[in-house]
Amino acid sequence: MAPVWPKVVGYELVQQIGGGGFSNVFRAVHIEDHRVAACKVIMLTESSTEKERKTIEKEMRVHSALKHENVLEFISAVVVELKHKHQYIPGIYMLLELAAGGDLFDKIAPDVGVGDEVAHYYFNQLISGMDYIHAKGVCHRDLKPENLLLDVAGTLKISDFGLSAVFKLKETGRTRPLTERCGSLPYVAPELNSDEPYQAEPIDVWGIGVILFTLLAGNTPWDEPTEHSPEFRRYLSGAIFQEVPWNRIGPDALSLIRGMLTIDPNERLTLEDVFQHSWCIRPSQLLNAGPSALADKLTESLRVNGDLGLVSPNLAGEQNEDEDMFSGSHNTQFTQSLMLFSQTQSGVRYTPHLTRFYAALGPTLLMPLIQESLEGLNVRCKAAPPREGQDGPLRLRIGGYDRRKMMFKGWVDVEKFSYRGAHGSFCVMQRDVGNPISWRQLWKALIISDAVEPHVLRK
């Protein structure tokens, strides 16, 4: 008998929702308790090293000690060793809170960003979570859009502590400088370009500054904070502040961004300074607005540029109830307003990705056009076997590099869909690795490509 996924403290792995290579993320359900979680699985193979295991164990130790409203909750973990491989799939299974609202940055129009109010609302949650993390003596070291998730009510959750480090002993308050070079180039602080040890807290503040800019501008400010980047050179000279999008950012928010993106870490704003900045301390207009208003405000730029009309066109036909008994766990005013449900062949289904569309062609005709269009955009493509037997969707594994030279990887799934008595396709682009904003740009480029565009259904 083929090995199966184990139960993890009563949770069964039911649907893959992300990941690739050596780690996958599944939706996991606890049948008896009617609870839903996410399960991150790091595969164990004969070639897994002791060093790799120690790194994962450190991540679990750090993450499990953090309990805060704005930190993704670590629930439990189990390890299935190789000696049990005939019965179960070997791996380290981390059970985490399910961020049913999906990625924060999946809802942001590229090169547009979100309004000042939405940025203010989520930025204050981000600094609240990071202040707690630092107080626990932990430095995140990998703050970037893809590590900021939303729960079912739209609350921000900081995730992925794989590169984190303990820099302060809680007992004595003593701190230590860090030496390991890590992080993603568009978000790392410039002091990581040297071989000198660096202070922990200022590098997270720099990452927070880049995230605030990205919320307001809809893109990162540069590809790397070095002389190799023309944009960073113009930042150093001050010339960039006369250019779009910097000149669109209000003076208050701009002074805060510049304070966090101060080159000298000793001169950079601390989190305490950030909390007291005039842009942060003003009352939030969204705090008591309710989940629907928050979702509408968050996706406003996607509504204006027409993206939401592609995600959820008006489709005729019966709205069947979702066959998934656990969809209720995702079905809130916030997730409904975000359009995180899709009409599929089997009814209404929870789909956390807003990078999806419907087409008037069947899957076998549409998929070659998708592959041809993506390859024309310099995306590597490889056909994959269906995930759920022969009746599952047609699948394409895709990867490449975005404008910021950041790697992306993901899947394109195309499945049958019936509408108005005719047959068509439902297509979802699911990102595993990479910036959600550049993933959205790729989705839009596919939709407006010459081969695919004539078949796309619009609102």
Known binding residues for ATP are 40
**Is residue 63 packed enough to be buried (19+ CB in 10 Å), middle (13-18) or exposed (0-12)?**
buried
The DSSP symbol for 143 reads -
Torsion-angle region of residue 226: left (phi > 0), alpha (psi -120 to 50) or beta? beta
Long-range contacts of 280-288 (CB under 8 A, 24+ apart): 280/120, 280/123, 280/124, 280/127, 280/256, 282/120, 284/117, 284/120, 284/121, 284/124, 285/117, 286/117, 286/118, 286/120, 286/121, 287/121
The answer to whether 95 and 10 are in contact (CB under 8 A) is no
DSSP result, 186-228: GGS-GGGGSSS-B-HHHHHHHHHHHHHHHHHHSS-S-S-SSTT
Q: Please, what is the Cα angle at 226 between 224 and 232, to 5 degrees?
A: 75
Identified catalytic residue from 103, 106, 142, 324 = 142
The two structure tokens encoding residue 284: 């939030």
**Cα–Cα dist 399/385, whole Å:** 17
Helix (H) or strand (E) holding 17: strand 12-20
Partner residues linked to 356 by β-bridges: 428
**Is residue 105 packed enough to be buried (19+ CB in 10 Å), middle (13-18) or exposed (0-12)?**
buried
The DSSP symbol for 170 reads T
142 is catalytic: yes
Based on DSSP, count helices (H) and strands (E) in the chain, helices before strands.
13, 17
* Catalytic residue annotation: 142
